[in-house]
Amino acid sequence: MTKPPIGRKLGQKVKSGKLKASSRRWLERHINDPYVQRAKLEGYRARAAFKLLEIDEKHQVLKGARRIIDLGAAPGSWSQIAAKVTNSTDEDIRVAAIDFLEMAPLPGVKILQLDFLDDDAPRQLIEAIGGTPDLVLSDMAAPTTGHHRTDHLRTMHLCEVAAYFAVEVLGPGGHFLAKTFQGGTEKELLDMLKRNFKQVIHVKPGASRQESVEMFLLAKGFKGRQTGVSEVQDEPAEYVDERESWTEDQGR
């Protein structure tokens, strides 16, 4: 299992100065976060890299991936991993990343500074990797308003749009991984994923802070697009909720 690093001494305090108390607490938590330290040591752009690596360690979502699409990619730590596992280069692009925020260039990654909800975004993403993706990643979250219910609904909408995009573009056997929020994945979305994938899993990796409401929805083994209405019902997908059984708590 991936572990936080032994690095700079933890428990450092930030002098108050002109900072608000809430800002000081956030900054202290950030600089004392072992995953933040490890990201710097290993050259990742954000601690989020370890969320993907921990999920992959257990569920093998990156294994054999040849083309990957990364939605809500900024600042780019998931794209860094994607480029490495696909052997993507600037001469042979196999990873496409999209975000409305600006991202610094990454070797082997085609970066689109564009809102994923733009009508032309799907076409540009597929064109960028030159073929069918084996994995669609989504770390998209709507800008927060401070109203919990509104924030939940807005991010769940992005998760749903990403899921339908994955079903439209993935090759058979492909996987979909997306950020969602605790508070319940909509039943209609879960039912859609169960129809189209062999296994659907809710997971909260150790690198996701315990106090955070985020979790991840993983759909494995895309069954392929349906060409018509079948008289025979497929076996229902296996559904697993790992949130209660995940015992790693370092770095949360």
Helix (H, G, I), strand (E, B) or coil at 84: helix
Catalytic residue among 51, 110, 179, 204: 179
Query: At residue 127, what are phi and psi to the nearest 5 degrees?
Result: -65, -35
Tokens standing for 77?
A: 């730590």
DSSP string, the chain: -------SPS------TT--HHHHHHHHHHHT-HHHHHHHHHT-SSTTHHHHHHHHHHH-SSTT---EEEES-TT-HHHHHHHHHHT--SSS--EEEEESS-----TTEEEEES-TTSTTHHHHHHHHHTS--SEEEE---PPP-S-HHHHHHHHHHHHHHHHHHHHHHPPTT-EEEEEEESS---HHHHHHHHHHEEEEEEE--TTS-TT--EEEEEEEEE----SS--SSPPPPPEEEE-TTT----TT-
- Residue 58 among the catalytic residues: no
Helix (H, G, I), strand (E, B) or coil at 220: strand
Angle value at C-alpha 92, between 88 and 96, nearest 5 degrees:
60
**Catalytic residues, which ones?**
179
